[in-house]
Structures are given as C-alpha cells and as structure tokens.
Structure 1
Amino acid sequence: MDSLLEDKEQRQPQTVEEEYALWKKNSTSMYEFVSETKLGWPSMAIEWLGTADSVSQRQELLVGTLTDKGDEDQSINKTNYLKFCKLDYPSGSKAALKVFKKFEHEGEINKIKVNPLDSDIIATINDVSVVNIFDRKKGLVATFSGAHSQEDAFGLSFNSSQCNILASAATDGKCVLWDTQKNIKFTESQIHSQVVNSIEFSPLNANIIVSVSDDRTIAVNDIRTMNQPQKHVSIDTKSVFNALSLSPFSQNLLACAGEDSMVHLFDLRYMSNGKTLHQMAGHEGNITNLDFAKYKDGILVSSAEDRSLIYWDLTKIGNEQTPDDAEDGVPEKLFVHGGHRSGINDFSLHPTIPWLTASTEEENYTQIYRPTEKITNPEWMGDINIDDME
C-alpha cells in the first residue's frame, strides 16, 4: 500500500509548469473552447463588449495595459492603452486574440466598466484615481479628476437603470457619483476610513450601492441620502474584503470575498447583525474578484491569487455528498479553472453567451474558455469517462 501511495505522490505535478502541462493535456475533456494569448504587456483589467448577435463568429473584449515605466530600455513603447480585441467564437478558426483598435490612456488601467445600458460607453479608472470616459467610436470623451487623492483606485460601477450615473471609489475612502452626460460630479461621500477595494450598484435597485474596504467594513448606501449622516448601514467584518457582487436575480443577495480565502454570502435585509448566510471554501489564496452570472440564477464566479477561478452553484448548498465527492470540496463548488500560471488579476463573464469567460493574469497571458456542457450540466459525472482524464 505504501508503495502505491508513493507512486501516486510522484505522479502529482510539483511545479507550476507541470500543473499547467497537466491542465492543458486534460483541457480537451473539460472545455468546449479554450484560447490563450500572450499580449505585449500584462493587464489588470478585462471586460467583454456585448455583441448584437449571441451566435456571431466575432466576439470583442477590452483589456487595459500595465506597462513597466521603470524599464530603462528607451526603444520600448511604454504608453498605456485601452485595447479592443477580437477573436472567433465558436468556430475557433482564429482563436487567438487580435487587437483591432486602441486608444491612448493616461496611466495604468486598474478597472474597466462597460455601460450596461449603452455598450458604446466605457469607463476606466487609473493609478492616480482619474476616471476616463471613452466612446468606442470617438475615443476619449471626458476625464474626471480632482475628486479623489492621487493614488491607486479600483472602485468603478455604472448604474444599471440610469445610464448617466457612474460611481468611483478610491484609496481615500470616498465614493463619488458622476453624471457622464453632463460631465459633472454631483455627490461625494466619505463612506470608508481606508482604501475602497470594490464598489457596485445593485442590478435590481438603482438607489442601492455597496462597497468593501481595507477598514474591514461593508457599507450599504442609498444614493438619495448618501450625504446625510448615519443613513448608511456599515458592518464590521473579520477579514478584509477585496471584492463583492450583487445577485441579478435576488435583490438582497450579496457575495463578498478577500484575504481569508472564503466566499461569504449575506442578506442585505439583515446586514446589521453582521452574520453571514453561508461561507464557501475552495481557494487557497487571497480572493480578488467576484461576479454573479446573469445567465442562470445561483451561479457565482470567483478568482484569486492562487491562480484559480471557481464557478459556484449556490443551488447545491447543503446537498448530500459521498465521502469521495467531499474530498473535492463543498457541493456548491461546480468547477475550477486551473489554467493560469500566475495570480489572476481580473476576469469577465460574457454578457450573452453562458459560461464563456475571459481572465487575465499577472504575467502577459489572457485566457478565454467555456467549460463543456458535461461540467455545467449537474448530471455531467454520469456521462464523462474518468479514464479520459489524468
């Protein structure tokens, strides 16, 4: 028995490159589509652009560059860009990403958001808290500065019901609301005492905005009363949360995650008691991004510095498991994408094609993939041949 265990341990990948090689070998069994492209610079942000036809062969997405301005090689172009990329899907005949347009961008791009009501309008926030508004046809159309301290900023969210309202949040703990049609700031509020790591409008209530911070609090605000003292709900958390997402199907469901490597679920109606509805374990590192899928109720996706992206199915919480199944994790852990060789900086779920995901890592690689239906179908284990995988 000991010799068998030793042989099994010896077959386990020992390095990141070995893990990647094993993932790549098994990828044909796990995905219906996989694309990997090495870009000129790494990216902190990635975002799909919606397409009019969900079965179109051409899909488009945005990436922002993170150039190394400390590089002394003067022959290298260190200008940052907002890049428009395309690839063929589902045919895959041109599966690699191709840049077909780019706009110069002042500073590093920390976050990209496409207006959910007008996909021609794109917002970015950079490493000195300047917000830029781009029109995909015209280029840069507005710049908002001076509202935040000139430090890194990662908070950016469009209102899903009022196309002209954009929120930004930064290191100074402020939330600022902008009118992107009048190009003015119309509300500013000190909602946190430290860095705001993420901020998001509710997709189902245009007046509610939620944020998480290094000050270990979650703040829930009504934008109509943000400037009035004691009008917001702020709860203390044991861990610093880096990311949050609000369900597009359930008005009160909030997910948060961060330094403790756990995904926490909350009910907005009972935030004042500070208790979570449920916690999910699966990552082994700092979680940096979260997003609820819009194509199916209960699907939540997270990514982390441990190089993994996890699809969760909240409808499976509490399901009974066999001892073998339990070794793979909690029942709601649907699938783990393990194709990255460094920490994942950002990911984006396609707005109209279920399960199609783009993610970008600390190195220069961007991956696009869609798990096979045998995985996204709850009964997939009854169909797949385990002998096909190693």
Structure 2
Amino acid sequence: MEREVPPVAEDRPLKVQRLGDKGEPGITGREAADGDSSSSDPWGSTDSVPPPKPNAGCSIAKLQVAWAETEYKNWTVNSQVLYDVLLNIPLDWPSLTVEWLPGIVKCSGTSVVKQRLLVGTHTSGVEPDALVVMQVELPLGPFEESQKNEYKERGDYEGFQFGLSSYKVKVLKRLPHPKESNCARHMPQRPAVIASCTVDGRVLLYDLEAAGICEGPEASLIGHKGEATSLSWNIYREGYVASCGAEGTLAVHDASNALQSKPAGGSKSLFLAEQEAGSNSTCWAEADLLLAASEDSVVSLWDIRAPPTKSVAKVLRLYDRRRLESCAHEMEAHGGSKASVVSFSPYKPSLFLSGGYDKGVSLWDLEQIGADQDPEDAEDGPPELLFTHGGHRADVYDASWNCEDNFSQMVASVADDNKLHIWQPKASVFFDSESEAEDDGVHLE
C-alpha cells in the first residue's frame, strides 16, 4: 500500500530512512537496542508552551507545523499523568500493521512479563521486506514502594518508562515478505498461523511453529486482481479468512485446507464478490455474514452462503445491522482526516478504538453516547470519546488491543514516524470509581 505524503512538510524527510542510521535505536535483525534512559526527559523538553499566534509573515503551512509542535510538546508535559504504561519503541522502518499475539510468560523474580507482537516493514525497496515477530517486556505494575527508587532515577516514579524503552525488546523471528504487508493477523483457533495481505493481491500464510529459519510462506491464497488491503479471520469457523482488495473484490478462503494441500499457484477462493469501489476493511459479523467498507463510503453486508450479487468517510458512523438503511449515530473523529483503523475491544462490546491520519488514536465507549457533560469536558469532545493518544508524529496506520485479560486496556499502535507505541491510559479513563479500577487491576499468579 502506498503511503500518503502529508500535505504539510514536517521536520522529518519524506524519503524513507533508517532511524538507526541517525544514532537512534531501532529494530535490527537480531535485537532492538535499549533506549538511552539517562535523560530525565526522553520525550523532549517539558516546558509547556502556548499555542502559536499568526503573524503577517507566517504562512498557513508554517502555522500548521507550529501548532502540531505545540500540541506534541504539551502532550509530553502531561504524558506522565495520562498513562499507566507508555513505551516508545523505535523501528528501522515504518510498519503498516501491528497485532498482539496471545500468550504471556512471567519472568521469575522480576516485575515484568514477556509478550509477542507482530509488525511489518515498509522499506520502499531499499531492503527486502519482512514480517517481524517481536518480544517485548511489559510491567506487571504498579510497583511496590521499594521498587520505585530504581525507576525514579530514570525520571519515572511510577515504574513505567516514558520515552525510549529501557525494557528489553528483541526480534524472535523474521518472515520474508514480498514488499510491504498491508495487514497481518493470526488465526484465533491456531495462533501460530499468520495471514498477510500483499501488494500483488495474494494472502500469504505463515506458520510460526515451523522449525528452522523461515524462507517464505507455507501457502498462498489468490483471488484479488490488485492489492489485498485487509483481512479478517472467522472466529466461528476455524480456518476461514476473508480479505478485501483495492480494486473492490471481497474473497473468502479456507486457509486450513490450503495449508494441507498447498496447491501450486495458490489456493482459490470459496467466495468472491465484486464491489463498485475499492475496499479497505472487512470483518465477520456471524459465521456466514461478512461486512466490508469501501471507498465510496458504503458498508455492505454479504452472506457467503448465497451467490454474490452484485470515497473514504471522514466521520465514524454507527449502524444497527437490523436497520442498515439509516445511520444510528455519527461521531466526528480525527479532525476531518481519514480514519485508517477501527477495532472493537475483545473484552467490552461497547469499547472501540480508531486511528487516523491526524496522528491520533482515540478510544470510544458507545455506552456513553448522550451522557451528561459539564461545559469544560464538552470542549474536549463528545461524552463517548474517552481518550486520545497523541504521541505519534505522523499518520497512524494500525492499532491493536492487547489480547490478554491482564492487559485488556493496553493498545499497540504504529505510524509513519517509524515508531511502535505501547500504551495504557490511566484506569480512571475506563472506570467511574477507584474501587472499580482496583477490581480490574492486573493479577498474575
């Protein structure tokens, strides 16, 4: 997928560059370097600044850049009171996809656990692309009083690193991939099986449990004439995976059968439909019902048991599947910019996130629609808008809820700034009282 060039040039080159070449740690073939935690302020200066004021010699473009810098600077000032967890992990290359992988390992005698993440690379042909399985250490938190002194020296009194991550991050596996991956997801019933969308239209299947160094995919699924843009595994039927294409095709495959038979030339689809416009997202509604969102602002519902019958929205629209002829609710999101990802929480049906080309990731709760607000809170947005992560400095491409119960409010997000952010807002964002938050705290045996 071609990355869009922002309309306003910022203080970063448009050409893709390895951040590691500039001396900033990044993901390497073996391991991600630990961040330099010697600075008391790894995110930058913490002096709050007022918003820029226009003047006769200031162009709109310069004013926009100055405003963005001011917002980011003020975000860094407030970050330590906004988050319970905030890890900033530099990547060698931008990733268009990110997903938590299930399973955590507690490190004996320490206050951290290990969990895996799946990201990709977008090298623009400078280097071979790959899917990357990373392992990151996460804080169990909150820390005991005796442990806080260790982290206070790093400017982090709560025990969570704000800035370049001092927690160990390493690469466990690299999966060779033809050009960039537009979307990669694990099969819910068999988490070791990974499906990935390619720019040539195929959906590639990998097995993380395969012995030895991965030399390529185990099997491929065919059906799209252009780029495969997104995919969704069926949680009701093992092995069924749906994918959508930039040219408007919607395909359903049996990945389990493809991994068994491995037909030459790729496995053909069980269901193939064509929409009037390119499709950027698809998800299963039920075992046989499939939703797809297309660039003509249409959300279509398909029944894969029946033969197939026959512009990007800048707001988030909520529909009731029983009454699709009208929008149930509309949410202004991302400052009128495009929304790049929408994902519901696996733990609370009313909670979802959205990421966009305004550099933000927002958390929403449908249960709060219409709730009372005081005038001051209303200035920050509607009551259903719980929180916005403002740490990225470029378009957000993907975001993923943590799939583990113990970290159900934790999110991973990637953007065009070559950064992976792992973050969890303060518990007060999700709960009305301290007792509710304590009851939902992290508990590991």
Query: TM-score with structure 1 length normalisation?
Result: 0.80
CA distance in 1, matches of 2:100, 2:92: 19
Pick from 268, 274, 298: which aligns with 2:321? Answer: 268
Report if the CA contact (8 A) 2:223-2:272 is conserved: no
Residues 148 and 101 of structure 1: is their aligned pair in 2 closer, same or farther, counting only changes over 3 Å? Answer: same
Corresponding residue for residue 39 of structure 1:
91
Q: Secondary structure at the match of 1:14?
A: helix
Stretches of structure 2 lacking an aligned partner (at least 5 in a row): 1-48, 54-62, 141-159, 259-266, 438-445
Q: 2:224 aligns with which of 148, 153, 162?
A: 148
Residue matched to 1:303: 355
The question of 1:327 aligning with 2:379 is answered: yes
Which blocks of at least 5 consecutive residues in structure 1 are unaligned? 1-6, 72-77, 231-239, 242-257, 384-390
Shift of residue 143, structure 1, vs aligned partner: 3.3
* Residue aligning to 1:277: 328
Structure 1 residue 338 and structure 2 residue 381: aligned?
Answer: no
Deviation at 1:8, TM superposition (A): 5.4
Partner of 1:117: 189
Distance 1:59 1:364 in 2: 21
> C-alpha distance in 1, partners of 2:269/2:227?
22
Q: Which residue of 1 aligns with 2:39?
A: none
Asked whether 1:367 is paired with 2:367, we answer: no
Aligned residue for 1:374, secondary structure, equals helix
Aligned residue type for 1:130: R
Question: Per-residue CA shift, 1:325-354, capped at 9, x if unaligned?
Answer: 211110111111111101101111111221
Letter in 1 for 2:334: H
Q: Distance in 2 between matches of 1:135 and 1:146?
A: 18
Distance in 2 between the 1:145 and 1:157 partners?
14
Contact preservation (8 Å) 1:208, 1:221: yes
Q: Deviations over 1:270-319 (max 9, x none)?
A: 11x2x111111242111111011011231111010001111011111111
Aligned partner of 2:273 in structure 1 is 190
Is contact 1:44-1:360 (8 Å) kept?
yes
Matching residue within 238, 245, 267 for 1:170: 245
Match of 2:330, SS state, is: strand
1:264 maps to a residue whose letter is R
Q: One-letter code of the match for 1:269?
A: R
Paired with 1:358 and 1:323, the residues of 2 have a C-alpha distance of 32
Q: Check whether the contact 2:187–2:233 (CA below 8 A) recurs between aligned residues.
A: yes
- Offset, 1:228: 4.8
| C-alpha distance 296-188 of structure 1, shift in aligned 2 (>3 A) | closer
Per the TM alignment, residue 323 of structure 1 is displaced from its structure 2 partner at its CA by 1.6
Match of residue 115 from structure 2: 59
Cα distance in 1 for residues equivalent to 2:376 and 2:189: 45
Match of 1:3 in 2: none
Alignment of 1:1-390 (within 5 A): 9=51, 14-51=66-103, 57-69=113-125, 71=126, 78-91=127-140, 94-95=166-167, 97-138=169-210, 139=214, 140-144=216-220, 146-149=222-225, 151-183=226-258, 184-202=267-285, 205-225=286-306, 227-229=307-309, 240-241=311-312, 258=313, 260=314, 262-271=315-324, 273=325, 275-284=326-335, 285-352=337-404, 353-379=407-433
TM-score for the superposition, normalised by structure 2: 0.70
AA aligned to 2:398 is D
**Once the two structures are aligned, what percentage of the paired residues are identical?**
27
Amino acid at match of 1:355: Q
CA distance in structure 2 between the aligned counterparts of 1:34 and 1:295, rounded to whole angstroms: 21
Cα distance in 2, alignment partners of residues 280 and 32 from structure 1: 27
Structure 1 residue 25, shift from structure 2 partner: 2.4
User: Cα gap change, 1:338/1:44 in structure 2, threshold over 3 Å: closer, same or farther?
Assistant: same
Aligned length in residues: 335
C-alpha distance in 1 between matches for 2:412 and 2:283: 20
RMSD: 2.5
- SS of residue matched to 1:98: strand
Amino acid at match of 1:156: L
Alpha-carbon deviation of 1:145? Answer: 5.1
Moved over 4 A (4+): 7-13, 52-56, 91-94
* CA pair 108-201 structure 1, distance change in 2 beyond 3 A: same
Question: What's the offset of the Cα at 1:31?
Answer: 0.6
SS at match of 1:307: coil
- CA offset at residue 141 of structure 1? 4.6
**Which structure has greater strand proportion?**
1
SS in 2 for 1:315: helix
Output the CA distance in 1 between the equivalents of 2:411 and 2:317: 22
